[in-house]
Structure 1
Amino acid sequence: MTASVAQYDVIIVGAGPVGLVLALILQAQGHNPLIIERHSARYGLPRAVGIYHQAVEVFNTLGLHDELFKTTITHSGDLMEDFAILEGSEGQCLARIPFTKKLKTGLPESYHLSQPDLEEILEEACRSRGIQVRRSTTVTDVRDETTHVVVSAEDRQGHLELRALFVVGCDGSKSTVRRSAGIRFLTEPGVSSRWLIVDIVPKSPEIMATWKDARVAKQYLNWRRTMTSVPAPPYRRRWEVMLLPDESFAESQKPEFIWPLLAEFGCKPENADIQRTAVYKLEGGWCEKFHKGRILLAGDAAHVAPPFLAQGLNSGLRDATNLSWRLDFALLYPQKNWHGLFQDYSTEQGGTTQRFVKAAIMLEKLFCVTDENAAKQRDAMISNGPLPLPDLGILGSPGMYVADREGDADSKLGAGRHFPEDLIRAGNDQQRLYEMAQWGWLLLFAQHAYSSQELESTLTMQRFREVLKGTYIIVGPEHCEDIGGTIREYMQENSLSAVLIRPDRYVYGGAKSIGGVERLIEDVINYTEST
């Protein structure tokens, strides 16, 4: 079968945030995705309550900023104090973790959100932009036929088969796509605790302000029972409660079990309602690889982690952006090195995944101590130093960026690190950096390093625009000014005159000369064009 016979460019299995965002990016790149979802309607109750700036950058570039911030996303500082608290067994403060800090650009690092509202806006954006979302359709098998992929499914009319050039499984931790592809899931040992989640809504908004720790995200590390409490938008509070060995899932979701646990906070049936309960056993692990031929995985289909780093949704959205530009290239240049790009996706995201899953499991062991003496030792350890948390702003394993390739030391500065968004002013206009770049490669130049005429005259820059959908911006008061100063500061700190940024906002490499810029671009093009 040839590509022209495939019904779709990409079939995405799963209409959660990860699948919806991936579809929106692919559509913006000019492709024809289909989303298949087994459920007939969206799940209307809360789940994820927080996201980070990288996710918001993606929403901004998709043109959804105003709508999401009107109804769905809230600056964390609007809901809570500046620090999350780790409270020890005796009620003492063990650590204060910055929660509402600003980036160098002045923009917040973290946000709160309502996941049901987010999914509604994302799905409506898909439909309004011509992306088909096919609900009540259950995938039963996925077959890679070398030139295309066949998806077998069941809907209300019976059996059907759909064909696409690529398939992405965004279908959760029990992924049918993963099973069909024969990709092994590697469970990380050491995860054992069981948890109850309770979302509480006050009977009136002002009541919530009277509850204990109303504006504080807090981890209560009591050896008798560990609990977590965090504000959630718009007027809601979430408690996560570790279950003891003799407490069953069924009994723990009953009101007579829940209300006594919340009484010390001033939260009771007279002033609040239980909106949602859920129970689960923590898991941690990742796939041995994130792709096999034309079948790829993203989000919970590829990895799961205990929730202590709040990376569930955030990690899935990183997968979507990291994968989207590789799919774009594979669809535009089917005879080129898309196999290598997908292997790099697996390497990069797999490395990042392993770091945050292992860190989350370490936190579970630390937080879920049930022995009094061991808890005292744990409290002393936390009090004596910061927790060893991973830096998730940098890719976890060498992949497609200069740090893993031959080249001078200058080009490797900052390679593999996420480049934060800044506001750009050009004359009287103001725009976000990645709204200007959209979903192509981006070159940032320091003012006075090169002239526009010099840049436009090179054949390499022409290929940069044509092959990589590249955009370049000269940064400085006479051209485009970075209002937060992030770009100028980055250039100065690393003594660079140019930096090349991938479509997923990670730095590919830097340069100090026009020759260095050309080498960076040629390196990217040569790698992607190799077969």
Structure 2
Amino acid sequence: MSKPFDTDVAIIGYGPSGVSAALCLGQYGVNAVAFERDSAIYPRARAVTVNDWTMRCFQSVGLDQALARDMDATAALRWITYEGHELMRMDFPPSHLGLHPQSYSIYQPVMEETMRQGALRHADRVDVRYGVEVTGVEQDADGVTITSRNLASGSISTTRARYALACDGGSSTTRERLGVKLLGETVDTRWLVIDAHVKRWWPDRHILTFWSDKKRPVVDIALALGNHRWEIPMEPHETEADFATHDQLWPLLNSLGVTKDDVDIHQHAFYKHHVRTAERWRVGRVFLLGDAGHLMPPWAGSGMQSGVRDAFNISWKLREVLAGRLPDSLLDSYEAERAPNVAFYTGVAVQLGRIIKQQLSEEEMAAMVPPPDQPPSLPPLFWAPTLVAGWMQGTLRDGCAVGRMVPQPRVANAQGKRCLLDELLGDGFTLLGDGVDPASLLSPQEKAGWDGLGARYATVLPANAPGSSPNDIIDLSGTLLDWLRAHHTRVVALRPDRFVAAAEGAGLGLPG
């Protein structure tokens, strides 16, 4: 006989990945218990940026606007030498994913506080237990039993959940208890991170700058809320004792043209870069999220963001499985979808790191930047989100909509309300038809499958067409219709995360 459950999902760790899971599960009406050793948010700003995909995730839980108030849009990236020669520059193109720009600079402690405050809206669903250390994770065929210790009282308790999410960071004890190896390498070079408060503006401070040098490359980045950061590699002969005080840091900043008139240093730290991933992300009913499952260098600004996206990916799938609408095997698609994406951004980060360290040849540099007389190509850092495998009909291929994220233009409904697309889509499944009721192109079996998931059927119309049905979506700019036609399909089936699961031509039935 199955033991009774205390909750649906246990969240081990309440950093960015854990809070993101709490936001999603609470939004979906799924009960969860979160365990976190530390009551206070980690004071250092480790992550420095979020992009439009991540903000679209937060939009789905109604938190994007509150977060954006404490962020600054990123203007551009540049790679320059100490002599002032600009090696490469990337200006950010407009986003097609919604209201927000391609990239924001953030101040992570403030961002996390806003996330935690947002999760309080779901306090009736999500029980967050601070000052509690998880000391055991045991599984059986039906669920997971979490043993925890209250650090103040020393009392021991157990919590039984149907599934568990390990969000407990790069040194995850959950991963160790599961016997999962972390594959890859840690780079020997130790980096010095200097955080400062800005006192006055200096030229081009808002441009994220990589000082490219074989000996002393530097990341120079404006954080939000008047903060600034430098990340500087230490030379082999240098130790942490050489930079123990703020006075010992100033020669490094002075070499970049920054003085005590410009900033006040308020903290510094040391760390190493990791290129590691867990050998598997699911063990029975436990899933590894964020740094517990993967670690990457900081150059692509995607470490924390990948953990946030992990949480949004697994959460909607847990909702469907817990509701009995889709089988437990759906959860296997978590790693199938997220691991290639994490590997992609890790590769981008490694390549960007080679630029800053001047490890690319002139030929490799030239290949990354198109000549002036050629149309500009979009750098990989700005490529649209895609899935190469997972819960979808077929695989990603040129010209097909399956596996791609649908754009999010401003639209209207038949009653004249104007808003962003996702507001009309809701948080479930939706089939969109180009001027046609998508249900009319489904076989009875296909329609029964989507009906079983509570899918909506919406007809997309141009702005000069009359809209009368509650299921009509008026595409004010034509962006959505152009996207459907560019991908040669009249109908797409969207998942809750806005990726296309099925499309006319590739098969409109539920993915297997």
What's the TM-score once normalised by structure 1's chain length?
Answer: 0.85
After TM superposition, list the pairs within 5 Å mapping 1:339-418 onto structure 2.
340-368=329-357, 378=361, 381-386=364-369, 389=380, 393-395=384-386, 397-404=388-395, 413-418=400-405
Q: Which residue of 1 aligns with 2:147?
A: 152
Single out whichever of 359-368 and 417-426 deviates more from structure 2.
359-368
CA distance in 1, matches of 2:258, 2:32: 46
2:141 partner letter: T
Q: Is the 8 A contact 1:200 1:273 kept in 2?
A: yes
SS at match of 1:138: strand
Q: Which residue of 2 aligns with 1:142?
A: 137
Q: Is the 8 A contact 1:496 1:510 kept in 2?
A: yes
Identity between Structure 1 and Structure 2 (%): 27
CA distance in 1, matches of 2:45, 2:24: 25
Q: Is the 8 A contact 2:132 2:149 kept in 1?
A: yes
How far residue 193 of structure 1 moved from its aligned partner, in angstroms, is 2.6
Q: 1:401 to 1:253 in 2, by over 3 A?
A: farther
Deviations 1:37-69 (A, max 9, x none): 111222234222211111111211211233223
CA distance in 2, matches of 1:403, 1:486: 25
1:75 partner letter: A
- The answer to whether structure 1 residue 490 and structure 2 residue 473 are counterparts is no
Q: Is the 8 A contact 2:460 2:475 kept in 1?
A: yes
Q: Is the 8 A contact 1:212 1:266 kept in 2?
A: no
- The answer to whether structure 1 residue 95 and structure 2 residue 88 are counterparts is yes
- The answer to whether structure 1 residue 282 and structure 2 residue 282 are counterparts is no
- The answer to whether structure 1 residue 472 and structure 2 residue 457 are counterparts is yes
SS at match of 2:89: strand
How far residue 414 of structure 1 moved from its aligned partner, in angstroms, is 2.2
Question: Which of 331, 337, 340 is the equivalent residue of 2:327?
Answer: 337
Q: 1:484 to 1:14 in 2, by over 3 A?
A: farther
2:457 partner letter: Y
SS at match of 1:143: strand
Single out whichever of 130-139 and 153-162 deviates more from structure 2.
153-162
SS at match of 2:53: helix
Q: Is the 8 A contact 2:408 2:480 kept in 1?
A: no
Question: Which of 412, 424, 428 is the equivalent residue of 2:416?
Answer: 428
Q: Which residue of 1 aligns with 2:164?
A: 167
Comparing both structures, which one devotes a greater share of its residues to helix? 1
Q: Is the 8 A contact 1:105 1:486 kept in 2?
A: no
Deviations 1:208-238 (A, max 9, x none): x2x2432221111122310011111121211
Deviations 1:231-282 (A, max 9, x none): 1112121111111111213432521222111124443234421133121011
Q: Which residue of 1 aligns with 2:258?
A: 267
Q: Is the 8 A contact 1:57 1:421 kept in 2?
A: no
Q: Is the 8 A contact 1:106 1:484 kept in 2?
A: no
Q: Is the 8 A contact 2:77 2:89 kept in 1?
A: yes
After TM superposition, list the pairs within 5 Å mapping 1:129-278 onto structure 2.
129-130=122-123, 131-155=126-150, 156-157=152-153, 158-188=155-185, 191-203=187-199, 207=200, 209=201, 211-278=202-269
Q: Is the 8 A contact 1:212 1:265 kept in 2?
A: no
Q: Is the 8 A contact 1:350 1:396 kept in 2?
A: no
CA distance in 2, matches of 1:65, 1:353: 23
2:146 partner letter: V
Q: Is the 8 A contact 1:105 1:484 kept in 2?
A: no
CA distance in 2, matches of 1:360, 1:104: 22
How far residue 484 of structure 1 moved from its aligned partner, in angstroms, is 4.2
Q: Which residue of 2 aligns with 1:372?
A: none
CA distance in 2, matches of 1:96, 1:87: 9
Deviations 1:435-488 (A, max 9, x none): 3333312211112x2388x589967546524x3232232211333223343311
Deviations 1:10-33 (A, max 9, x none): 011111121111112112222101
RMSD: 2.8
CA distance in 2, matches of 1:15, 1:435: 28
How far residue 102 of structure 1 moved from its aligned partner, in angstroms, is 3.5
Q: 1:213 to 1:379 in 2, by over 3 A?
A: farther
Single out whichever of 170-179 and 212-221 deviates more from structure 2.
212-221
Q: Is the 8 A contact 2:442 2:508 kept in 1?
A: no
CA distance in 2, matches of 1:118, 1:486: 31
What's the TM-score once normalised by structure 2's chain length?
Answer: 0.88
SS at match of 2:156: strand
Q: 1:429 to 1:185 in 2, by over 3 A?
A: same
Single out whichever of 499-508 and 432-441 deviates more from structure 2.
432-441
1:133 partner letter: V
After TM superposition, list the pairs within 5 Å mapping 1:89-128 onto structure 2.
90-99=83-92, 101-103=94-96, 107-128=100-121
